[in-house]
Structure 1
Amino acid sequence: MGSVLGVEQSGKATTMEPADFARMLAEEISLAKQPELRVLPPLPEVAVTEIFLPVDSHIPRDYVTDDHLRLEVYFQLANADNEDDLQELTERIGKLWGTPMPLKMVQFINLIEMKIYGKSLGISKIVADKPHILMDWDVAARTLQFLTSFLVDERDRDRFSIDSENGQITLRGMGLLAGDAQVAKLRSWLQIFDRCNREMREAESRTASSPFPGAGGQSS
């Protein structure tokens, strides 16, 4: 089985669930193994990520029947700051109104999760524009190349086309997929990118704070 850090992947990684694959990043990413991380430009910062995809996502009236409570659920979900908060809210909603949740509700939560990842990565907008999906993401080409190297399917990596001058990424052909498929793919990709970015920055921070030259996980 190939290393998760390699561009060429093989074996079980190709069928691994996104969450399991993301957890492997924490084990693999370190400045000792990846010295090129030291020179990767940081990601941009944005206040919010807007998402416009052709998917039916809302809280159905027959799931949360009380109008006041439904608006409160909308408000709390929309203001979730991180994955942990969103997970806690999702579990609480399931306990109060039952599981499995309606697909439209699940998709609404998926979009909120994507917005959390998008803000962390510095993506200001994701919009379907057939036959493609466009992302307003002023990311450096080298950083994007590194992040997309974690996608196990070469066909997925090949979808990314960068326009550095305009700060835009084109996901070629993604707009031809059904809305639910667009959400599923983008959500898994953004989750992997977010995990990778966090581990990368934490590794940088550990190295910067070390009082010993050359420290960063290497042992003698």
Structure 2
Amino acid sequence: MTRFKAEIRTTVVVLVLVVVSTIALWTRDDGAVPNAADSHGEQGKSGQLESTMESEAVLEPLRRRAALLPCPERKPHARGSGPLAGVTVPCLGESRSVDLGAALTEKPTLLNVWASWCAACRKEVPALAEYATREKAIPVVGVSVKDCASNALKLMNETGAHYPSVVDVDGEVRRALGAPPVVPLTYLLYPDGTVKRIARPAIFETAEEVAGAVRRLLSTDS
């Protein structure tokens, strides 16, 4: 009888563990957009998300509040070169598209790949925003990925960041850059179309760190 009771207890314990494990899997597999607590890497189902552009009726009031600077425009006769040649994406702050390769040809530009659900991005955007206001700063252009345009605009408004951003709706910018599946990422785009990733630091915490990384890359290539 004692042995029989022990077997029953063992069976019950196993069944409970199976149920708990199943519930945990359901909870993790809900497909929700990662929230601001997520880490540097894209978590769970986020790798399957795509950026979305809501209707103009939804975006226009958010654009007015965010007051982003205009996206760069294609220069006359500019065709662009390098990996971003021919890559055209919607502007986050305006209802038009941007040919990145053709628009960013006159001077070095910082490209920052980010998302509103990324906790590290929320820390980094203010540093980039402060850097962008400096007199000797090179232009900063954000690339919103795997995110709703409305959420991206809300974050820019919350952080007081006004530098222009584009929306990588189908991942074309990330593919062109050969970007790994993490955010944030920052690249230095040269006037000839060459692109170099800034690996140190992986996440900018201050405007001075941004300025230092830019000086380091530009000085080594001069």
TM-score range, shorter chain: under 0.3
Q: TM-score, normalised by structure 1?
A: 0.27
Q: With the length of structure 2 as denominator, give the TM-score of the two structures.
A: 0.27
Pick the structure with more helix per residue. Answer: 1
